[in-house]
Chain A
């Protein structure tokens, strides 16, 4: 133990580094935890603790359950995230399989096109989609339809990145064996490849849900009326106006939804990567660390 300790830790005990790291984690977490705490405040203040209560979630006239602007924001965020997940995941899975196996002259530019949305600043994509819906696709209404198209556009590439990591790991042997044994390509994909990909597909559903419900810029640029305001857009609109703790309650609900879906994705990915003794793949695809 001492030898191992000395090798992995040749500088002696890194007390200072440990302290800096702890301070960083406290700095990054504590403001958020305080914001969550005050969503349960019995009083109206967001800085003086007056006892525990659920009034900002359920009973107060300004609570998430009773203030219509907050309820609508919650509903719109969930609706968009679920629809985006259902549309982007199948398109992205098919695209990942296609791009991973296609060896024609168009394969390289197609792969490149898939990556560009990942590196485009959101404000640029927001302006572009806003202008195209305002001037060219004017049959698409601002609000849910435009927001949905926008969310799917930035989600597809995430699905491709997650699924193709798994595809590269599987290799081509299984589907080729299936076809040697007489399966058509369609059967090989449906009965061999898709079951092997199922953890990555499940993870994609969860990650797309999380990035869609988390999105602010695209949702704001493509919003229509009051019924298309999402939770992040509502937080943005209300943060500076000395809002009651119900805004904190709304933010806490968003936090819970995101953390649940990301943990689900993490668990699924970890289960299969542990089996393959490769923990990094899962972390990389979760955090876009493919560089």
Chain B
């Protein structure tokens, strides 16, 4: 009898082993074919050739025959060419927009997480709502407001000022647009991190003689550092690849970002496909640090939840 039981159990365990990977298989196959293979295609196009007649990039699937000349072109353009200016501008935009997000977003997240006593759900809804309003619609709203006959210019002229051309090549418009677009994604992880801090820790700091300012600087601020980092990573990843915000809010070469260059290489001039692919790979390498930070964080939390 006991031996029977045992064999039934081993059978069940044997079935388990087979069942779980089988359930994951369709999803894994999908990601293999439509996520991993596409990345190989980017490599193959970046290392490939240009068809001299049709002026179309020809991918090279065999790594032994890879030609790195497209990379050479892009890299030399990046160090000392026009692309270098675009990359530096992208960096400056992202850093400025992130600074706006921290300065505006921290007090907001802090207030809702730590200071609101009544109607917390309502305040939270205020933070959550823009998260689910389409990005393009939020930009469209600003195009409406900032247009030459938009509300903003109407207010300025009614006060006696001269109308401002907000939407052609202004760095400040693009930076504020980026900040406006991505700040909800920064505020929410920060809110979660601040909300997780045990109020008892703050009370302890106060009981031990810290002034409110000291308690904030030496307890709350360090404890919320992870949340700030997570929020920044979350908004930097899409910002570095953004092309629609500068296109909608300025549309001028003066505000061109790396994303605009990729969009142009891939979508508008097919002969530049190889360069577009190479630039995409370079962008990926540049943001790889943020991707890995985020990835390892989620993986760690998952392992903890699984235990």
Contacts and interface: CB of A to CB of B under 8 A. Distances in A.
A290 B139 contact: no
A121 interface: yes
A104 B294 CA distance: 24
Given A117-B31, A121-B240, A240-B251, A112 B299 contact: yes
B66 interface: no
B208 interface: no
B166 interface: no
A248 interface: yes
Interface in B34-54: 34-39, 41-42, 44-45
A128 B39 contact: yes
Contact of A102 (B15, B21, B147): B21
Contact of A291 (B15, B238, B294): B294
Interface in B194-211: 195, 199, 202-203, 206
Interface string A247-291: 110010011001100100000000000000000100110011111
Nearest to B48: A135
Interface residues of A, number: 106
Nearest to A258: B132
Given A127-B277, A232-B136, A287 B131 contact: yes
A235 B136 contact: yes
B82 interface: no
Contacts of B108: 20-21, 24
Interface in A117-132: 117-125, 127-132
A258 B24 contact: no
Contacts of A124: 241, 280, 283-284
B28 A95 contact: yes
Interface in A30-73: 31-32, 34-35, 38, 45-47
A111 interface: yes
A20 to B, nearest CB: 5
Contacts of B138: 31-32
Contact of A239 (B31, B133, B151, B248): B248
Contacts of B32: 113
A184 B16 CA distance: 10
Contacts of A195: none
25 contacts: A8-B199, A10-B202, A14-B115, A17-B110, A28-B129, A31-B138, A34-B144, A47-B154, A92-B27, A98-B22, A115-B298, A119-B291, A119-B295, A121-B284, A123-B243, A123-B283, A124-B280, A128-B41, A131-B42, A235-B137, A239-B136, A239-B143, A248-B140, A258-B133, A289-B188
